[in-house]
Structure formats: C-alpha cells, structure tokens
C-alpha cells in the first residue's frame, strides 16, 4: 500500500479547546466556540481529518477560504483565516463551523499546529540545515550520525521524509508547518528523540518553521537561485540568515568559504563556530587541511584553530562514501553540528557519517570495472553545484565527460544561461533536455540554456538538444559512451516525477539509467 504525507498523523492527540488554541492570535470571539475541541491543524483542504482546524491562507491564484466548505465536509471543526477570508465566508450560511479571524493566517499556522500537537519540537533534539547547495547531503550525514548515536532520528528533506521504516518523497524541500508539527508528534509516539530538517529560504519567509527553536543549525553557502522570488542576493541572504539567529536556534555552525558566510558570522547573535572546507589558512575555528576522493570515499582532516575551544582533539578524519569536493563541506557541517552542537561522541559521529547514503546525490549507477562507462546521477541544478560536480567527475574521467541536463520551468530563469555556460565549459558533450517544465514552454526553457552554451560554443559543437523526452536523452547519451567516458545525469536526483502542465508523470533518473545500462551494456 502506498503511503503519503496525508497518512502520517499521531494517534494519541489530547484535544485542545478552540478558544485555547487560538488564544493570543484571534481578533474575534464567539459563544459558538464553546465545546469545540481540536485534534489537529491543516492548511490543505485535500488533507483534512476529523476534528482538525482548517487554516485558510490567501494564495497567488485563490484565497484558501474558497475551499473552506470542502474542508468542513471532510471533518474540519473550525476555520482560521484573515479579514478577507472571513468576508468571503460571511455569505456561507451553511458552513456550520466557527470562523476565527487572525491578522496573518500563514504566520500562525505552524504555531497553531504546535499547540494542537503538544509542542513536539520542544521535546526533541532539532537540527536545521540551510544553504543553496548541499542541504540534503548534510541533512543525511547528520541523520546518520544521530542514528549511530541511538537518537532514533527522523528526517525532512528534499529527497525524502523518513520516519522509522516509512519513507515518503515530498513535493517541496520543507513541508508546510502543520505537516512538520504533526510528523514530529508522530515521531515522538514512535520513540524518536531527534529530527533533522532541511530548511529552504522559502520555508523561513513563508513561516513554515515559525515558532520552532532548533538546538543547532548550519549555514552552508549562498549561490544563485530563487531570484524569481527574492529578486536580489541581499534579500535571499536575509531570509537564509534568519535561521542562524536567536529567533530560530540556540547555536549555529557557519561555513565561511563565501562572502555570505563571512557576513553571517559578523552578525550572528547566538553561540557559533566557523569552518572552511577550501582554505587551510582561513580565519575559521575549523579548517580542512587535506581532502581526497575517489569512487568510494572522501577522507577529510579537520584541524581546530587555536582560538577555539570547540574540539576535544586537534584533528579529526572523516570518511564519507559520497565522492565530490562539495561533500567535504557537507560532512564537516554535519560533524560540527552533532558534536559541538549536540554533544554527541566524536567516535559515534565519525562512524555514522562513514555509513552515509544519500538518495540521488552522486549516485553511481555503473563503474568501469563492469566494462561500462561511469554513469552518475546527481541533483546539481544551480550553476555552482553543476560546476562543482563536473570538476570532480572530470578528475575521474580518462575519456569524455558527457552531461545530460536541463533546468526547471516556472523557477528562477535568470540562472539558466549560467547553467548552460557552466555545462559547456566543463563537459565535452552536452545533451540538453527537460527537467520539470511545469506550465512554461519547454522550448523557451531550453532556449535560455542554449543562450549560455553559445557564449562558450557559438556553433553549438557537441551539443545535442533533445525535444522534451528526457528518457531519450539519457538513453542516447549512454549509448554514445565508451568505457573510458563518464555520463553525468544532473538536475533531478531522486525525484520520482516530471511535471508538465500541472500533471506529475512518473519518472526517475536512477531507474531509467539502470534500465538503459542493462539494455545497452548487459552484465555477464
């Protein structure tokens, strides 16, 4: 049986009176609130259980209040909304449940849910991870360390929500606040003592983690992405930086390898440590002195500078079974968060990170010792991430480096020419195809990638544009490869779908590439 987020609800919820639930936020009151008991909170009219409050949020295309009747029919016992929503509902004479007016329903949705589920985040160790690139790998490394230490963690990230034996593949990096709160409550019921949450800038700006206080968080980097929403890098930074403030955390681990990390360290108002993965001479509490990688491991030595008291010993060696220089940064962040931030044993953390497995991140589908080309699937989808993985893989490639890539529709279009340029500068053969066009014309999306490619290759030498069919691009790229070549399939990682015009079509790069390899390069 398929399990979705809608199936994850705690079973032992103590009901909260509606008046107590909305106390401090409600702008109105009514006798008809008396006797109404609440068992949960949701912002999705498709995801309502009996006894829950539906929070009707104004959206880009419609106001959530327009779906209140549907929520009530599904079991909602009250609606929380703003003044506009309340006015929309004033004509709903058949609604039959109380309407509570608040100033900003989006801002109160997560705190309401926390109150409804007994503030589960306050009873767990919480780890938060933010940055443009590397969040998922860092989250899984932290998860592995916590698991090794017996903390029975759960994880929320782009690649997966994992709770015990249950794995669910989410549609966004950070779930809506009420979903996070109820899964934390379910985790407590199942004996979870900790949680790792990948926190996007949107999650902070849209109040999905409002009211939560992390024990430790990390800031990895800030690179070109999401400027369709934030418009400037300063705005994007301001959103990310909030996670490392006393509003959301008790401690912070900050990578100072870019100007944004350095800027954050200068303004951070909670106890923090800094590290550099790339500059041994950096002014940081931790620096990486040595790093090496192959198809099996990264070995990283981290040395504590004399001005810090964060380390019990002078050096630590981490072995991470995910190749790539970018994963040095991720492993160090996870190590510092779980040792310095949470107080876990260094030996347990090192052992946990050594067992790291990350869905769709530098996933090796075939190796040369199988008399196949090296084929790797990775999520890299920003210019910086793509450049990092291609440079890493170039060092492992005696032949040609072939890349299959695209970029998302209805997302930051300003980065597309740079993605194309980076691919043209760092790979030999380019297969340009689609990722998730969504509602945008795929020809337009690919055209903006080709615009960047032409800056490097005006004649589009060794550039093949595949119209729409990503499966064809993967198949033909692998078919064209020799054993000495490497095929990098980037942009989607372990996503389980392709989105066209609002429809999710089942598709996974790892499954498709495995099928193609078996057909073209069968094993003896």
The reported pLDDT for the residue numbered 305 is 41
Q: pLDDT confidence of 298, banded at 50, 70, 90?
A: very low
* Other C-beta atoms lying within 10 Å of the C-beta of residue 451: 13
| Range of lowest pLDDT (70-84, 172-186, 301-315, 486-500) | 301-315
Q: pLDDT confidence of 476, banded at 50, 70, 90?
A: very high
Cα 456 off chain centre by: 31
Task: Say if residue 131 carries a ligand binding annotation.
Answer: yes
The reported pLDDT for the residue numbered 223 is 82
Give me the mean pLDDT over the 252-280 stretch.
94
The reported pLDDT for the residue numbered 302 is 53
**Burial of residue 266, with CB atoms counted within 10 A of its CB: 0-12 exposed, 13-18 middle, 19 or more buried:** exposed
The reported pLDDT for the residue numbered 60 is 83
294 pLDDT higher than 90: no
306 pLDDT higher than 80: no
Task: Say if residue 249 carries a ligand binding annotation.
Answer: no
Task: Say if residue 242 carries a ligand binding annotation.
Answer: no
454 pLDDT higher than 70: yes
CA proximity to 326, closest of 269, 256, 384, 376: 384
504 vs 93, higher pLDDT = 504
The reported pLDDT for the residue numbered 308 is 57
Task: Say if residue 200 carries a ligand binding annotation.
Answer: yes
DSSP H or E segment with residue 431: strand 429-432
DSSP H or E segment with residue 205: helix 201-205
| Range of lowest pLDDT (51-55, 304-308, 330-334, 432-436) | 304-308
What does the chain come to in residues? 524
The reported pLDDT for the residue numbered 300 is 45
DSSP H or E segment with residue 269: none
Q: Cα–Cα distance between 71 and 399 in angstroms, integer?
A: 58
Walk me through the domains of the chain, giving residue ranges and CATH numbers: 10-110 (3.40.1390.10), 120-354 (3.40.1190.10), 363-520 (3.90.190.20)
446 pLDDT higher than 50: yes
228 pLDDT higher than 80: no
Structure tokens at 38: 């609440």
Task: Say if residue 45 carries a ligand binding annotation.
Answer: yes
What backbone torsions phi and psi does residue 308 show, to the nearest 5 degrees? -105, 150
Task: Say if residue 343 carries a ligand binding annotation.
Answer: no
Task: Say if residue 174 carries a ligand binding annotation.
Answer: yes
pLDDT digits (tens, 9 = 90+) for 125-148: 999 999 988 899 999 999 999 999
338 vs 368, higher pLDDT = 338
Task: Say if residue 137 carries a ligand binding annotation.
Answer: yes
- Mean residue pLDDT across the chain: 91
Q: Give the percent of the chain with pLDDT over 70.
A: 94
Task: Say if residue 134 carries a ligand binding annotation.
Answer: yes
Task: Say if residue 132 carries a ligand binding annotation.
Answer: yes
310 pLDDT higher than 60: no
């Amino acid at each position: 049986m398929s399990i979705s987020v809608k199936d994850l609800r705690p079973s032992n919820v103590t009901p909260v009176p509606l008046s107590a639930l909305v106390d401090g936020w409600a702008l109105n009151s009514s006798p008809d609130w008396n006797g109404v008991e609440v068992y949960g909170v949701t912002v999705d009219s498709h995801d309502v259980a009996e006894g829950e409050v539906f929070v009707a949020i104004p959206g880009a295309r419609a106001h959530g209040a327009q779906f209140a009747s549907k929520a009530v029919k599904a079991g909602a016992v009250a609606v929380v909304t703003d003044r506009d929503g309340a006015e929309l509902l004033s004509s709903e004479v058949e609604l039959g449940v109380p309407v509570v007016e608040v100033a900003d329903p989006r801002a109160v949705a997560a705190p309401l849910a926390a109150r409804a589920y007994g503030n589960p985040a306050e009873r767990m160790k919480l780890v938060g991870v933010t940055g443009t690139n590397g969040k998922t790998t860092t989250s899984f490394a932290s998860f592995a360390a916590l698991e090794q230490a017996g903390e029975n963690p759960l994880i929320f990230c782009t690649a997966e929500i994992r709770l015990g034996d249950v794995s669910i593949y989410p549609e966004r990096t950070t779930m809506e606040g009420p979903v996070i709160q109820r899964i934390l409550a379910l985790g407590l019921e199942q004996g979870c003592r900790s949680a790792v949450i990948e926190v996007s800038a949107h999650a902070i700006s849209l109040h999905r983690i409002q009211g939560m206080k992390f024990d430790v968080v990390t800031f990895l980097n800030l690179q070109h992405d999401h400027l369709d929403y934030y418009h400037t890098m300063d705005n994007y930074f301001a959103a990310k930086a909030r996670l490392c403030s006393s509003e959301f955390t008790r401690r912070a681990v900050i990578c100072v390898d870019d100007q944004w990390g350095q800027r954050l360290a200068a303004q951070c108002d909670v106890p923090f440590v800094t590290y550099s993965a790339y500059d041994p001479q950096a002014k940081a509490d931790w620096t990486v002195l040595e790093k090496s990688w192959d198809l099996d491991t990264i070995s990283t030595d981290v040395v504590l500078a004399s001005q810090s008291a964060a380390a019990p010993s002078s050096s630590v060696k981490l072995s991470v079974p995910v190749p790539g220089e970018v994963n040095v940064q991720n492993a160090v962040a996870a190590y510092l968060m779980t040792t310095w931030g949470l107080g876990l044993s260094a030996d347990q953390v090192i052992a946990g990170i050594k067992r790291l497995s990350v869905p769709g991140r530098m996933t090796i589908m075939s190796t040369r010792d199988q008399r196949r080309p090296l084929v790797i699937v990775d999520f890299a989808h920003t210019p910086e991430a793509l450049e990092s993985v291609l440079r890493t893989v170039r060092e492992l490639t005696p032949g040609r480096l072939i890349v299959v890539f695209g970029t998302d529709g209805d997302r930051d279009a300003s980065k597309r020419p740079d993605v194309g340029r980076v691919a043209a500068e760092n790979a030999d053969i380019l297969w340009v195809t689609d990722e998730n066009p969504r509602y945008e014309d795929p020809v337009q999306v690919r055209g903006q990638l080709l615009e960047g490619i032409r800056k490097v290759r005006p004649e589009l030498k060794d550039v093949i544009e595949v119209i729409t069919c990503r499966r064809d691009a993967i198949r033909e790229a692998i078919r064209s490869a020799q054993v000495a070549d490497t095929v990098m399939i980037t942009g989607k990682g372990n996503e389980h779908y392709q989105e066209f015009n609002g429809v999710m079509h089942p598709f996974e790069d790892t499954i498709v590439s495995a099928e193609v390899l078996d057909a073209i390069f069968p094993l003896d």
